[in-house]
Structure 1
């Protein structure tokens, strides 16, 4: 469940960083069942975070968030900036269920030039 990991992900102190397509996502908790086809554009159910008495929803559209909250059925649980990716990303396709999205991370190679010239070995610790 990538969305669950993203909610508490902290890359500080790691060699990783978010990929270039990071945007703000809002997690909402909606009481009862929510049908994906009834959600505003830019919103999806996250089944892996949902339970019988509530549905987790993820949106990247501010208007969708406002509509869901205004209707009184949902409340914001967390906002995160992350580079989520899914098949069809960038082509107007938005999945009905965000449980299987991917997280795009990148890293920079360590600057090993001086160490290698001196005959040492170089790499990340841990």
Structure 2
């Protein structure tokens, strides 16, 4: 690895620092990541398996099981929209069924407390 880093003009310590920073962005709390973001967790109170995503206007995920991975199809229980964008989740794939809107800078730590059941969201759009 040292030889590869030297060929690329990087020191091994600089390489290790950049890997550590990248790993921290994907693991730590969302405040570590720069820019507008959304946190999606399988369990209430932002626990269990979570994903943090940079979001921009125009994102359309027709099937959360495909776009986020099979563990996130109909299995989301808490959501944080830490952006100035509106995120709309839908009950079914392809933006069908009831819609749950998250205005800018809103969150729900337990979707069952919103009149929705946990584990029913299947697609989303960002406006």
Bin of the TM-score, shorter chain as denominator length? under 0.3
Higher relative contact order (Cα pairs below 8 Å, separated by 6+ residues): 1
The TM-score normalised by the length of structure 1 is 0.25
The TM-score normalised by the length of structure 2 is 0.25
Larger Rg: 1
